[in-house]
Amino acid sequence: MEAFPIINMEKLNGEERADTMNIIKDACENWGFFELMNHGISYELMDKVEKLTKDHYKKCMEQRFKELVASKALEGVEAEITDMDWESTFFLKHLPESNVFEVPDLAEEYRKAMKEFALELEKLGELLLDLLCENLGLEKGYLKKAFSGSKGPTFGTKIGNYPPCPKPELVKGLRAHTDAGGIILLFQDDKVSGLQLLKGENWVDVPPMRHSIVVNIGDQLEVITNGKYKSVMHRVVTQTEGTRMSIASFYNPSSDAVIYPAKELLEREGVKDESEVYPKFVFEEYMKLYTAVKFQPKEPRFEAFKASEKSNSASAATA
């Protein structure tokens, strides 16, 4: 099997730029995932974020998690548990407005580090969107604009810890799903593995690498590229040893952004048959549906919006 795509971003500034852009293109089309090295975010800042995240988990989250799982004891359970995830999480919002200084229980130093890290990730996310535009032959800024709506893109972080689990065969850290949004940037533990993506029929490990940022494509980029880029199923498996840190930041459309396949792409690809065109919808509406069916395949979600588009245009025609 081909190797998981790893991008050395330094090479974008030299003679190997074209080859590196090609690896990104192939990753977006065939993996839905890739991993960035030399991405420009300071390793010192990443180390600080990691230390403070792990300290916060120990101090404020671990006990709460233990009490929660104690109430759902796995003793005597033999069938796979499909209605819970073995994870401890909290969320921070950055765009359109930050709540980093309002979320309770965070040390001041941690708030500041997360704020600084989010600014770096936001810049990296926007740079990546423009690299994708370049590969897609869309004008610079197209994707950011497509996400903007009236309030600008949404950016937020899910801070997760996946504690050791006595029965990894019975419960997932996070059940298989595709991500609903735009582009996702993940800072994951470099020692405890667990993230896997579905490639064809096989679950493939996303390799833990020190100071890397893992990137994946969400459902909205699949829609805008009319399926050229893929939002891929992924999951977290639990481990019996070690707690896995996962800091995932979501660069998503504004709630009122209207998402639809880029016209230029459809024309260039010669897509004429309406049945081959992905749907058009307001992102907020997509999220309402997604929340209810997150752990199901994405295709029925796209089909549902396609069907409602059709019935809307039929009723408009008869009105």
Q: Is 120 in the site for Fe ion (CB under 5 A)?
A: no
Binding residues for Fe ion, rule CB under 5 A, total 1
Residue among 129 and 183 whose Cβ is closer to Fe ion: 183
Q: Residues 85, 126, 179, 222: which binds Fe ion (CB under 5 A)? A: 179
Task: Point out which span in 61-69, 119-127, 172-180, 311-319 binds Fe ion (CB under 5 A).
Answer: 172-180
Residue among 56 and 234 whose Cβ is closer to Fe ion: 234
Residue among 218 and 279 whose Cβ is closer to Fe ion: 218
Residue 141, Ramachandran bin (φ over 0: left; ψ between -120 and 50: alpha; else beta): left
Residue among 20 and 194 whose Cβ is closer to Fe ion: 194
Task: Point out which span in 43-51, 85-93, 128-136, 174-182 binds Fe ion (CB under 5 A).
Answer: 174-182
Task: Point out which span in 69-77, 173-181, 191-199, 224-232 binds Fe ion (CB under 5 A).
Answer: 173-181
Euclidean distance between CA atoms 1 and 293, whole angstroms = 31
Residue among 126 and 219 whose Cβ is closer to Fe ion: 219
User: Counting beta carbons within 10 angstroms of the beta carbon of residue 244, is it exposed (0 to 12), middle (13 to 18) or buried (19 or more)?
Assistant: buried
Show the binding pattern over residues 127-166: x = contacts Fe ion (CB under 5 A), - = does not.
Answer: ----------------------------------------
Determine how β-strand 33-37 pairs with β-strand 6-8. Answer: parallel
Taking CB positions, which residue lies at the least distance from Fe ion? 179
**Considering the complex, what minimum distance in angstroms separates the CB of residue 33 from Fe ion?**
10
Residue among 98 and 249 whose Cβ is closer to Fe ion: 249
- With contact defined as beta carbons under 8 Å apart, do 252 and 283 qualify? yes
Binding site for Fe ion (CB under 5 A): 179
